[in-house]
Amino acid sequence: MLKASHNTGLVFFPAFDWAIDPTHPEREERLLYTQDQVIEEGIFDIPGIIEYKPSLVTKEDIQRTHFCVPDEQSITTESHLISAGGAKTIADAVLNKEVKNGFALVRPPGHHAMRVTHGGRGFCHINIEAVMVEYIRSAYGLKRIAIIDTDCHHGDGTNDIFWHDPDVLFISMHQDGRTMFPGTGFPGELGGPNAKGSNLNIPLPPGTSTEGYLYVIRNCVLPVLEEFKPDLIVNSAGQDNHYTDPLTNMNFSAQGYAQLTTLLKPDIAVLEGGYAIEGALPYVNLGIILAMAGLDYAGVVEPDYNPDVLKQSVSITDKIKKTTDQIMTFWSQRKQMRQAAGSPGEIMVRHRETFYDTDNIFERQKEKIRICRDCGGSFEVDSKATPGRHILGVHIPINACDACKEQAYAFYDKADPAKYQTIYLQDRPKDAYEIKGGCS
Amino acid sequence: MILGLDVGGTHTDAVLLSSSGIHQHVKVPTDPDNLFSSVLSGFSKLLEHTDPKQVERVVISTTLTTNAIVQQTMTPVAMVVSAGPGIDPEFYRTSDHYYAVGGSINHRGREKAPVNEMEIQDIAKKIKKAGIEYVGVVSKFCVRNPSHEILIRRILKKYVKQVFLGHHVSGNLNFPRRIATTHLNASVFSLHKNFFEAVERSLLEKGLTVPIQILKADGGTMTLAASMHFPAQTVLSGPAASIMGAIPHAPAGQDAIVLDVGGTTTDISFLVDKTPLLEPVGIQRGRYKSLIRSLWTDSKGIGGDSALRVKQGKLRIGPDRKGPAMAFGGPVPTPTDALVVLGLMDEGDKEKAVQGIHDIARDLAMTDEAAADHIFRSCCSIILKKTFEMIDQINSKPVYTVHDFLEGYKLSPRRILMLGGPARFFAEKIQEMYQIETIAVQGSAVANAIGAALARTTCEVSLNADTEQGIVTAHEEDFAEPISKSYCEDDLIETAYTLLKEKAENCGADPDNLDQVEVVEFQEFNIVRNFSPRGKIFRTKMQLKPGLIKGYESVAS
């Protein structure tokens, strides 16, 4: 008889009545065929597979992760709250040990949403994994968390949110940013001065096949995880590396996704992108579910799958090996890089520009962070959106040292209300969020 | 007049009623080894003083198929399944004669790999050689495109008596359940056919000429002729009969719990505004999961005759039954004995009851009276605990749209309706313990037979329209029609209604009782390729709700 080797939780929330707009890839029918496949396969009847109804995330849940401008309500729809809530529901089920692992098959996605969010970017408004991770840290006190983003697009939102956090290992493997939205995620992007090497970006050349993906998992992701020793592994399981995806140029397969899941053994997987809704998603999702539940997935093969056609060229294999070696070198030098980044107590400034493709917003940021060896370091972000608002957000990391806490309060107190429309304080140690009104 | 007969585990109840009330009621013991004689003696007794010509409707509910499953006396049948990509179909093996074959249809109903006709022919020969006469054929996604099942049947039918197809059992997706249901259908077919043809003959001899209706698990009826296509629908019609019998006593516009306390088990179910709640997919009991439409019932192994014992200082109730209560000559103490000891029940041998409860009381270090009260309370709390778990389960059922998420209906019953022998004692205790209004349904001993007698015909149709492929289908009804690009929601609903009406009339529905139509599900999706709309997918399910036939509302109350 078919029985999962352990309990696996699933949240399935296809949001059949929500779309960015009627012909947008992120629209109602995206998970329709996945639903058909999953239901026809009788997945929810398999002993050990438990389906959960998603909860809604609250304003407080979002405030742990984002500075929503002007506020949470303006940035999100109910669908975003349920989607993030689905991830949170799975987190609860896993951490309460009702299930060994879980998969949130939800939409809309979230991995392009950054800490400061003025609107939609890359189909994302709030970062559902990040909201979940911050919830887990506050509710369950877990310290070290690894997020492995296997979506074909660079998970720049998650990357941004954990940029300065040495306790969250973020690894994104994605199609080379020179050929793909959002155009970032190069090996040199290793994290902020206090967290160098805890962000690893692995760009893959167009045409990478199952062989290439699994090579990176075996030779880079797994060894790094082995050393990092996370308390929890999260997989941002984008499915747009598939050989039929209309938005990307990769050659990954349902079998490959299932094998990747078996190798990675994520505690929690959260669906991200994936827009080959008919030819790929039904099979990829089925493969991931079966792999999570420890069930045989040998029969999960796309009807038109032809491994010979999808084989990657020798030059691609070489490129991937080189990138992997480079990443492993960076990883081994992370401590020296943090030492070299600056001396404790020093304030470091960074300027950035971000374009919100979904909502056509241009944002300019000026960030100041305190160099610290004892914690992730407090920082402030001055953010001006066009069209939009000018705000200041101050963040105190969850395990902040006293010096960084003081620095953050100083940032907040000194912020000039005449200059900003709103000033926010994200006080993670107190699990509090404060707002100071500014000019309007 | 209407005649309703319900064969239960221990008794067979039959009633004769008209719009003015119940004319007659008989109760005969059920002979589990000869249900036919139980049915016949029920009919004979009822018709002793009645002219059969006056009977306009006959509804029968039996445990025939249920018993066959429990006792594993089903006919051996073969299954031919075609899976395509996905979980290995070997997991769903039903017997030695289970053949997983080639061929594949995808979720849109497109053929991805053809059937290998030679392969099917070889299997057909093997089946024939093994002396198997009935075969079930199921292909994955046959509800989107049944052509493979139809082709396989064409090859097989020369070799066997009858072939049952998966797409005829339900419009719902779920390949493993479809295999189980089709297998059950094929396995109980000859048993069902022989039994009811014999019943029909005997009734004809008695001068009863109206077509026989048979009760289904969803609390609706179908004609004998219709039942031959899907005999498995009669499984678990027993609990359905009781629930239908409780409907006249249910509050309008409110939710209610129905508890039917029997000898060995208590059946738990729910009514929403006098309409029973249906299982979302189909009957499931433990590992057994099907696509058979059914009322949402579950049972707890606690009844009036459950065996009582003390293990490690703790009271254990059931789930087994060793016989009747000691007060009625049984071998071990039961909850009924506790009722006798408490002085609630006057019938039975009180001395024997005390003797039985005393053993329990000694092991629990309690007085006889206290032990009896403890037993009674425990029964109530175990049943209610299970009931609340079911309500939680119903209310936490996942939904797939933002609208349903925000507007989702929450079941919150304010009243309990109790049926069965000890109903009146339990009702009082439960009300005292839980402060929920609890009513013992009057004349609950015949509620099951009344429920069967008054149940309406039910049915459901599932339609799928795809304007990109230019087709609307209801494969369960063998229906497919071309449509234009401008096909819309109203068109689909109209088609669905026509099909539902036709199906209902074929199942024996009275045209006056066709107004309880409900759209169970409606979904509409754009099909977009390369950022431009290519068509729409519409899906709907429409049903004739379970309920009572018109004009008899006052009968039971």
Q: Name the minimum distance, in Å, from the CA of A290 to any CA of chain B.
A: 9
For residues B355-379, give the mean pLDDT: 96
Q: Name the minimum distance, in Å, from the CA of A429 to any CA of chain B.
A: 33
For residues A139-154, give the mean pLDDT: 97
For chain A, percent of residues with pLDDT exceeding 90: 92
- CB contact under 8 Å between B399 and A278, yes or no, is no
* 60-89 of A, contacting B, C-beta below 8 A: 77-79, 82
Domains of chain A: 8-335 (3.40.800.20), 342-437 (no CATH)
- For A367, counting Cβ atoms within 10 Å of its Cβ (0-12 exposed, 13-18 middle, 19+ buried), the class is buried
- CB contact under 8 Å between A282 and B107, yes or no, is yes
Render A206-270 in DSSP notation, one character per residue. TT-BHHHHHHHIIIIIHHHHHHH--SEEEEEE--TTBTT-TT---BB-HHHHHHHHHHH--SEEE
- CB contact under 8 Å between A39 and B112, yes or no, is no
A247 touches chain B (CB under 8 A): no
DSSP secondary-structure letter at B54?
A: G
Report d(CA B283, CA A45) in Å as an integer: 12
**Per-residue CA distances from A382 to A75, A238, A353, A405 (Å):** 19, 31, 12, 18
Q: Is A168 helix (H, G, I), strand (E, B) or coil?
A: strand
Report d(CA A397, CA A429) in Å as an integer: 7
Q: Is A339 helix (H, G, I), strand (E, B) or coil?
A: helix
Q: Name the minimum distance, in Å, from the CA of B108 to any CA of chain A.
A: 8
Backbone phi and psi for residue B528, each to the nearest 5 degrees, phi listed first:
-125, 130
Exposure b/e, A34-53, CB count within 10 A at least 16 = b: bbbbbbbbbbbbbebbbebb
CB B398 within 8 A of CB B348: no
Report d(CA B408, CA A281) in Å as an integer: 28
- CB contact under 8 Å between A29 and B528, yes or no, is yes
User: For tokens 């990657």, what's the residue?
Assistant: A312
Residues of chain A neighbouring B405 (CB-CB closer than 8 A) = 13, 54, 78, 82
For residues B114-138, give the mean pLDDT: 97
- CB contact under 8 Å between B107 and A37, yes or no, is yes
Render B259-328 in DSSP notation, one character per residue. EEE-SS-EEEEEEETTEEPBPSS--EETTEE-----B--EEES--TTEEEEEETTEEEEEEEE-SS-GGG
- Most A CBs within 10 Å, among B81, B92, B106, B541, to test the A interface: B106
Q: Minimal CA–CA distance to B357: which of B341, B378, B380?
A: B341
**Per-residue CA distances from A124 to A180, A382, A435, B514 (Å):** 16, 21, 24, 48
A282 touches chain B (CB under 8 A): yes
Per residue in B319-354, pLDDT tens?
988 989 999 999 999 999 999 999 999 999 999 999
CA atoms within 13 A on the CB side of B477: 26
Residue among B140, B174, B526 minimizing CB distance to A27: B526
User: For tokens 């009919």, what's the residue?
Assistant: B43
What is the band of B543 on the pLDDT scale with cuts at 50, 70, 90?
very high
Query: How many beta carbons lie within 10 A of that of residue A364, not counting itself?
Result: 14
- CB contact under 8 Å between A283 and B85, yes or no, is yes
DSSP secondary-structure letter at A121?
A: B
Beta bridge partner(s), residue A366: A351, A382
Q: Name the minimum distance, in Å, from the CA of A320 to any CA of chain B.
A: 30
Mean of all residue pLDDT scores within chain B: 92
Joined tokens for residue B282: 């189909």
- CB contact under 8 Å between B83 and A299, yes or no, is yes
DSSP secondary-structure letter at B73?
A: -
| C-alpha R_g of chain B | 25
DSSP secondary-structure letter at B211?
A: P
Joined tokens for residue B29: 């013991």
Report d(CA B523, CA B510) in Å as an integer: 30
Residue among A246, A295, A303 minimizing CB distance to B106: A303
- CB contact under 8 Å between A17 and B537, yes or no, is no
Exposure b/e, A138-165, CB count within 10 A at least 16 = b: eeeebeebbbbbbbbbbbbbbbbbbbbb
CB A55 within 8 A of CB A304: no
Residues of chain B neighbouring A28 (CB-CB closer than 8 A) = 525-526
Residue among B92, B112, B401 minimizing CB distance to A17: B401
- Most B CBs within 10 Å, among A36, A40, A44, A257, to test the B interface: A40
CB B265 within 8 A of CB B9: no
Q: What is the pLDDT of residue B519?
A: 92
Residue A440 pLDDT greater than 60, yes or no: no
Query: How many beta carbons lie within 10 A of that of residue B280, not counting itself?
Result: 10
Residue among B91, B140, B287 minimizing CB distance to A40: B140
Joined tokens for residue A387: 């069209």
For chain A, percent of residues with pLDDT exceeding 70: 99
- CB contact under 8 Å between A15 and B107, yes or no, is no
Residue A125 pLDDT greater than 80, yes or no: yes
Q: Name the minimum distance, in Å, from the CA of A122 to any CA of chain B.
A: 16
**Per-residue CA distances from A76 to A83, B16, B99, B338, B412 (Å):** 11, 62, 51, 60, 31
Backbone phi and psi for residue B315, each to the nearest 5 degrees, phi listed first:
-70, 135
Residues 6+ apart with CB under 8 A from A102: A8, A9, A10, A11, A52, A90, A91, A93, A94, A267, A268, A269, A292
CB A57 within 8 A of CB A64: no
Query: How many beta carbons lie within 10 A of that of residue A10, not counting itself?
Result: 25
Omega before residue A182 within 30° of 0, cis: yes
Q: What is the pLDDT of residue B556?
A: 59
What is the band of B444 on the pLDDT scale with cuts at 50, 70, 90?
confident
DSSP secondary-structure letter at A57?
A: P
What is the band of B553 on the pLDDT scale with cuts at 50, 70, 90?
confident
Per residue in A14-35, pLDDT tens?
888 888 787 788 888 899 999 9
Q: What is the 3-state secondary structure (H, E, C) of B417-476?
A: EEECCCHHHHHHHHHHHHCCEEEECCCHHHHHHHHHHHECECEEEEEEEECCCCEEEEHH
Q: Minimal CA–CA distance to A75: which of A127, A24, A12?
A: A127
Per residue in A208-251, pLDDT tens?
999 999 999 999 999 999 999 999 999 999 999 999 999 999 99
Residue B238 pLDDT greater than 90, yes or no: no
- CB contact under 8 Å between A290 and B402, yes or no, is no
Joined tokens for residue B554: 């006052």
Report d(CA A364, CA A351) in Å as an integer: 8
Domains of chain B: 1-46 (no CATH), 78-188 (3.40.50), 248-449 (3.30.420.40), 456-544 (no CATH)
A·B CB contacts under 8 A: 122
DSSP secondary-structure letter at A108?
A: S
Residue A382 pLDDT greater than 70, yes or no: yes
Residue among B403, B406, B525 minimizing CB distance to A29: B525
- CB contact under 8 Å between A28 and B525, yes or no, is yes
Report d(CA A204, CA A220) in Å as an integer: 13
Backbone phi and psi for residue A224, each to the nearest 5 degrees, phi listed first:
-65, -45
A305 → chain B, closest CA residue: B85
Exposure b/e, B391-417, CB count within 10 A at least 16 = b: beeeeeebbbbbeebeeeeebebebbb
Residue A115 pLDDT greater than 70, yes or no: yes
Residues of chain B neighbouring A53 (CB-CB closer than 8 A) = 396-399
For chain B, percent of residues with pLDDT exceeding 90: 76
What is the band of B557 on the pLDDT scale with cuts at 50, 70, 90?
low
What is the band of A122 on the pLDDT scale with cuts at 50, 70, 90?
confident
- CB contact under 8 Å between A23 and B532, yes or no, is yes
Residues of chain A neighbouring B533 (CB-CB closer than 8 A) = 22-23
Residue A296 pLDDT greater than 80, yes or no: yes
Joined tokens for residue B276: 């029973």
Q: What is the pLDDT of residue A229?
A: 98
Q: Name the minimum distance, in Å, from the CA of B506 to any CA of chain A.
A: 29
DSSP secondary-structure letter at A271?
A: E
Strands B212-215 and B221-223: antiparallel
Strands B298-300 and B162-165: unpaired
Residue among B87, B400, B406 minimizing CB distance to A14: B400
- CB contact under 8 Å between A299 and B85, yes or no, is yes
Strands B111-113 and B134-139: unpaired
Residues of chain A neighbouring B397 (CB-CB closer than 8 A) = 53
**Per-residue CA distances from B60 to B1, B36, B115, B212, B263 (Å):** 15, 12, 41, 7, 22
Q: Name the minimum distance, in Å, from the CA of B529 to any CA of chain A.
A: 9
Catalytic residues of A: 112
Joined tokens for residue B322: 């060793």
Residue A106 pLDDT greater than 60, yes or no: yes
Report d(CA B136, CA B115) in Å as an integer: 16
Q: Is B37 helix (H, G, I), strand (E, B) or coil?
A: helix
- For B437, counting Cβ atoms within 10 Å of its Cβ (0-12 exposed, 13-18 middle, 19+ buried), the class is middle
Residue among A29, A39, A283 minimizing CB distance to B527: A29
Residue A439 pLDDT greater than 70, yes or no: no
What is the band of A11 on the pLDDT scale with cuts at 50, 70, 90?
very high
